[in-house]
Amino acid sequence: MPQGVPNEADMYGIYPKPWGFEVSLSRAGVRHLHQFGIAQWGDKEEALRQARARRDAIVQSIPPAKRRVRAEKVRVNNKTGTPGVTPIFRADGSVQGWRAKTYIGPGEILRAYFSTNEHGDAAQTLAIYARASQLDRMAGLTRPHPAEARLRERTEPPRMLEARKLTKTEIVGRNNTSGVPGVQFKAGHGEHPGYWMAITGARNARSISKAFSIKTHGSDLAKALAVAERVRQLAAKSAIPSGNEEFRVSSSQLDARQ
């Protein structure tokens, strides 16, 4: 394929979205839909890797329908009740005969015709039996996409969800300038250098917040204190363990306050 164009097998069933990737595959009339957000998985590459793993798991564990099963499905425009069996009419509208027709593969279409002049009312029954015989030669699965077979033939099972999905309290918002969820800078009034704040939403929809003055502590220590306060707030809320490594502040930073 041209350089820069994703291989169709890699992106089969995966649809890029502004927020990440969506996996969408249909099996036996059931739509399997899964979403993988960039914010939830840390970056675009990991979100795509997880989407591919989910897609591969669906393809390998839920194969598409057998070709014969699909061929035996009665379509909405079928008027005989038997797929692949159709009447052939004379100019006056009377039934001239019954035809059984089955597509087996490229260049192979099976046909059988039974005239009402020769077989009478049994012509339709004979066509139905002929259709069943034709279906016996139909094998394999339906092919919704060329990549399906290749994905099912992979010997290595899909490795899914190795990376831990980020919780809402760990996702860094687009407007966050601290790199730590729930910790943000607030500008001061006049000549005041501002504050570092820890903010956590509470179960009663009210927020818990505490500010640390840069004028009093300096920027680095004020930020470190806000991070430590964020950990305390989350621990009080029982959202994460208080010793979560991602938010831990070094003892030297806290000692500097004294």
The predicted-structure confidence for 32-79, as pLDDT tens digits, reads as follows 888 888 877 878 888 899 998 888 888 888 777 777 777 777 777 777
Residue 135 has pLDDT above 70, yes or no: yes
Which range of 24-28, 96-100, 159-163, 195-199 scores highest in mean pLDDT? It is 96-100
Burial of 198 (0-12, 13-18, 19+ CB in 10 A): buried
Q: Return the bridge partners of 89, or none.
A: 95
Mean pLDDT, the chain, integer? 76
Residue 171 has pLDDT above 60, yes or no: no
Distance CA 16, CA 131 (A): 43
Please write the tens of the pLDDT for every residue from 69-100: 777 777 777 777 888 888 999 999 899 899 98
Mean pLDDT value of segment 206-230: 85
Q: What is the pLDDT of residue 18?
A: 87
The pTM of the whole model exceeds 0.85: no
Could you tell me the CA-to-CA distances from 161 to 51, 133, 244 in Å, in that order? 9, 46, 21
Q: Which residues contact 103 (CB under 8 A, 6 or more apart)?
A: 71, 109
Q: For residues 178 and 223, is the Cβ–Cβ distance under 8 A? A: yes
